[in-house]
Chains A and B, each alone.
Chain A
Amino acid sequence: MLRILSLFFLISFFSVGQEGTLIGKVSDESGAPLIGASVIYKGDITIGATTDLEGNYKLKLPVGKVRLICRFTDKITDTFNVVIPNNGFIEHDIVLKSYEEVRELEEVQIRVGKFDKKPEDITVSLEVIKPKLIEDKNTRSVETILDQTPGLNIMDGEPQIRGGSGFTFGVGSKVAVIVDDMPLLSGDAGRPEWSFIPVENIKQIEVVKGAGSVLAGSSALSGAIHIRTKYPSTTPKTKINVYSGLYSFPRDTSQIWQDRPSMINGMNFLHSRKIKNWDIVIGGNLNYDEGYIGPPRQDAFIEQSYPDTVSNFSNEQMRSRRARLNFNIRHRSKKYRGLSYGVNGNGMISQSPMIFAWLNDTSGLFQGYPGAVFLHEQTIANIDPFIHFDQETGASHKLRGRLLYTDNNITANQSNNSVLYYGDYQFKRSYKNLADLEFVGGISSSFTDSYAELYAGSGTPDNTLLNVSGYGQIEKKMWEIVNVSLGGRMEYYALNDTVTAIKPIFRAGGNIKLHQETYLRMSYGQGYRFPTITERFIQTGIGNFGVFPNPDLQPETSSNSEVGIKQGVKVGPVYGYLDIAGFWQEYENTIEYLFGFWDPNSPTGAGFKFLNTGRSRVLGIDLSFSGKVRFNKKNEMTFITGYNYILPKTLNPDLIYAYDSNPVEAQGYSFNNTSLNPDGNILKYRFLHNVKADLAYTFDDKFSIGATVKYFSKMENLDLVIEKFEETTEIINTIQNIQYMDYFEENNNGTWIIDARVNYTLNKKHKFALIAANLLNNMYSLRPLKMEAPRSVMFQYSLTIEHKK
């Protein structure tokens, strides 16, 4: 009773305070509203507001003269005074100018896990890729730009954060890929659909390293990639980007397989505008890429007896073609302030080769291996309806849906088809009467309906996977210098109505401001990944080997702990943030793809299968230093540098995690006997040292030159079976020789790769660029049996038309 009374008095105390209301609009120099700008009362920084979709803010403040600040991404923070009348309104509009004069350290506004945050409030390790860099590098598919993020490697399309995963041909990604807060992994295989992401309309990419958010879904075992698309500003904008280029011949001329260099041509476009209360964005991309890997070439000796009927492709058939069209349509309600709704959509048709292995390690590094190349025709489309409602109370409701249709028509009977339905309701509110406790929570569900003979390992080609999740996360800022967040998520899975699982996961994080521009952060997060339909049920035979189902595959789990410190640095003209993080990741039931004699009653007997391989641990450090060097108003250099060291080890090297069905003697499989180099217990397919850096120098706002440097240290360990493949194919003269070990032993010494670019901005309309990837034309391989691209040089012309009102 006493507590109730106390609470009553407390409420009364707050309610009798004298206050008034400040309203206004925040816009840029052109008059465009700035959405999400912060207006903060300096007398008590816990009192603040964020501008809505029209740039409006509303703030209750104590009566009298108050001092406020307004800040926004890449804009000069404005400080101003107003006098608040008792129980009255006062209006104050703010125009924020561009960032050029600012001397205060700022990063772009970051929204991690669906929060709007300042970087000093972030409790996880995060890398941000800005749209300028995406454009400057003529990014045609988003994974190519992601690959330069420190601690994130893309191994033949498969994302690998801090060594948290090996290589499984992209199936069952341990990294969540989230576009506009909704997952974009194929429903059946859990594979990122990189080329489907509308790269011409990206507002920002955020890479969260480690299982750092319950909002990203529990399957983000080692991290999440958040991609956010743009909505239009008040100025209508049309942008057309045309590019043309070619791949160089490989440096080793004995590897040249074609008559002329392969070409790359394409264009993308974007038109965005507001029409009254409508926000409309239309974009698209056409891409033609002749590729740098030639078709398989069968040994004449083998061809006489066993002609290749699987991959006997011409140069023409190996070319990639893609057409994509996407749109975002949003309507902001006039009748109901804060209500907006709309639909986003994207559709793509494409054809491309899927290349699993090179021809040989002598003169066939850039050609395919017979039977290991497939042609892939894909039709993929999504339609995303949504409703957002931001109440004046500060509460925010978001209801989003996605229908993702994927039809993969692949040669050699590898076709598959799936529809993914996704729905998410999210509620977010800041509770002032709970000392500004911020809550975000919701419920989301996805249902995948897959049809593929390829997945008939379940007994039927028709498989379904249901996932229902409930999640909640609270954040609390205390004493102005401490930010704490706690979250939980409950996952429920039902596979074909026969296999069900329920699992809670938790996370916690904190950030302490130790000193001016010095932030210490801590984070702990759990992950839980239910095996995909592909991993459990794939059943096929390709050439001489099979792929076998494993219906008993268990979910894999992870935990990620890390401590990091971010330090602002200002030395002369150099401004930046130095970030150091140490992390500790633990994985259980890790799912890997292993070769064995799994079914002697099948036509192929031996082949690959997804297996749980036990426990592992990845320790490491992340170092990054990013910022700018401002020489004067028109000349500056931006830099993003990072170094990542990991120590990925198995915790049970001798554990026999599976026995096969070898008819002579069942073979037990362990880390030790499946590893090429089990010494040190280092996990397979990991680079222990990784350096990524990007430098861009701008002269007089017209010219800019930039370079990206990437370093991958040697691969310590890989599957022993690759060596056995080589030995076996030497003995069996009707299987074309698989040759890798000589290349591996000679070239596994670490790789430096340099990209470079030159941009010239003629005026606001016209921009030209010359972009080279792999400038030194290094011949290198990141995953066994696959070469990365030789040098490519691209010319790019961009036309930007801003339709002034």
Chain B
Amino acid sequence: MEKIIIAFYLITFALGGFAQQQIENGDFEAWENQGTAEEEPVDWSSLKTADALASTAPSVLSPDTGRNGGTCARLEVKEVPLVGIKANGLLTNGRVHADFNPENGYVFTDPNDPQWHTAFTSRPDSIIGWYKYEPQNGDKGKIEVVLHVSQGSLPFNGTENNMIGRAKFEFTTQQTSWTRFSKEFNYYDPQAPEYILTTIASGDSTISETGSTLWIDDISLVYNTSNIDENNTELTSINASSGELRFFNSNGLSDQNYTVTNIAGQLIQQGECKENVLFTQPSGLYLITITDGLNQFTKKVYVH
């Protein structure tokens, strides 16, 4: 008869022992050293504060108009004509190590200097955010987040074993308007991380193309949590099947709204949470965010 409806609750970790930390200054509203060559978002670093060649590196980072009228980070791949070497549009919450040979460049966590690392002990579910992208000649950008202990680096350069979890999303197609992205974390170790190392790049590593430009804004981490006392939206359960979405909350669904985005971050559907909502999208993985104005809760749902 009707298709089997599978209510797919995301795996719920026993998260009680982990805090729910967010990426610092993920909306890129706060900038420091403004008006200088080292102008950067607070808690973020780029080539101009790299540990080498900072004075001869082009400025690949600049503030620009954000998604909601504030500021975002703009990253652009630039070539140094004198030597024909390209500098990728990089931004990190660790630190950049620049080298004349792009293959020897990396971003890293410096555990010994709080300026160049971001302490982090949570285990988020996903990374989400908004972006615009103008790639050149098939170039691709990325956001990559590594949760790790001890030393951390991207590329790993031998630090793979320190990795606790990782999420990586690639920007591949031109997006002239703000587009949402999300990417779940994969975890490789049950222990809590010590640091979060985020890299955002407008070009494809060592083969980046001059002019590839990425605008990025409002990145945040998403948690699946059982902390029901604090957030009514999290009490809302979702049953999803091909044809309908069903929301249920023993405290009622009043004032709760939902949005559905696909895995590429595109908004699919939105509306008020009801017990039965028509949903005609094909099977696949979707992110459903429920908000009541005060709280927000996102669940990853696989619709068969």
Q: Is the CB of B84 within 8 A of A664?
A: yes
Contact A731 to B80, CB < 8 A, known contacts A305-B37, A544-B56? yes
Cα–Cα distance between A725 and B54 once the two chains are bound (Å): 18
Nearest CB of A to B139, in Å: 16
Complex: how many Å from CA A306 to CA B37? 9
Nearest-CB distance from A666 to chain B (Å)? 11
Docked CA distance A665–B100 (Å):
11
A667 vs B100: C-alpha distance in the bound complex, in angstroms? 14
Binds B, one of A522-530, A578-586, A732-740: A732-740
CB atoms of B58 and A662 under 8 A apart = no
Known: A302-B37, A306-B55. A731 touches B81 (CB 8 A): yes
- Contact across chains for B36 and A725 when beta carbons are under 8 A apart: no
| Chain A nearest Cβ from B98, distance in angstroms | 11
Minimal Cβ-Cβ distance residue in B for A606: B83
* Chain A residues in 8 Å Cβ range of B103: 663
**Chain B, interface SS category:** loop
Please tell me if A600 contacts chain B, counting CB pairs below 8 Å.
yes
Closest chain B residue, CB of each to CB of A733: B59
How many residues belonging to B are interface residues under a CB distance threshold of 8 Å? Answer: 26
Cα(A595)–Cα(B80), bound, Å: 14
Q: Is the CB of A665 within 8 A of B57?
A: no
| Contact indicator per residue, chain B 10-39, by CB within 8 Å of chain A (1) or not (0) | 000000000000000000000001011110
Give, as a whole number of angstroms, the nearest-CB distance from B35 to chain A.
Answer: 7
Q: Contacts of A305 on B, CB cut-off 8 Å?
A: 33, 36-38, 48, 55
Residues of A near B57 (CB, < 8 A) are: 732, 734
Query: Is the C-beta of A265 less than 8 angstroms from some C-beta in chain B?
Result: no
Q: Which residue of A lies closest to B54 (CB)?
A: A734
Q: Indicate with 1 or 0, residue by residue over A598-627, a CB within 8 angstroms of chain B CB atoms.
A: 001000011000000000000000000000
CB-contacts of B39-76 with A (<8 A): 48, 54-59
Residues of chain A contacted by B36 (CB below 8 angstroms): 301, 304-305
| A263 located at the interface, meaning its Cβ lies under 8 Å from any Cβ of chain B in the complex | no
**Cα distance A732–B54 in the bound complex, in angstroms:** 10
User: What's the nearest-Cβ distance from chain A to residue B26, in Å?
Assistant: 26
- Is B5 part of the binding interface, using a Cβ–Cβ cutoff of 8 Å? no
Given that A733-B37, A735-B55 are known contacts, is A728 also in contact with B81, CB under 8 Å in the complex?
yes
User: Cβ of A662 and Cβ of B56 under 8 Å apart?
Assistant: no
A727 within 8 A of B: yes
Q: Give the docked Cα–Cα distance between A725 and B85 (Å).
A: 14
Q: How far is the CA of A306 from the CA of B85 in the complex (A)?
A: 22
A42 within 8 A of B: no
- Kindly list chain A residues whose C-beta atoms are within 8 Å of the C-beta of B102: 663-664
Q: Which residues of chain A are within 8 angstroms of B99 by Cβ–Cβ distance? A: 663
Cα A605 to Cα B85 in complex, Å, equals 12
A597 on the B face (CB < 8 A): yes
> Which of B35, B58, B100, B104 is the one whose CB lies under 8 Å from A301?
B35
State which of A304, A595, A665 has its C-beta within 8 Å of the C-beta of B82: A595
The contact string, 1 if C-beta is below 8 Å from chain B, for chain A 282-317, is 000000000000000000011011100000000000
Cβ-defined partner of B37 (8 Å) among A301, A597, A725:
A301
What residue of chain A has the Cβ atom nearest to residue B101's Cβ?
Answer: A663
Chain A contacts of B38 at CB under 8 A? 305
**Cβ-defined contact, A605 with B55, below 8 A:** no
Known: A606-B82, A663-B101, A735-B55. 10 other contacts (CB 8 A): A304-B35, A306-B55, A597-B100, A600-B101, A663-B104, A724-B82, A727-B82, A728-B80, A732-B58, A734-B37
Residues of B participating in the A interface, judged by any CB pair closer than 8 Å:
33, 35-38, 48, 54-59, 78-85, 99-104
Instruction: List the 5 closest A-B pairs by CB distance, nearest first.
Output: A663-B101, A728-B82, A727-B81, A305-B37, A304-B36
Some 10 contacts from A to B, beta carbons below 8 A apart, are: A304-B35, A305-B33, A305-B36, A305-B48, A606-B82, A664-B102, A721-B82, A724-B81, A728-B82, A735-B56
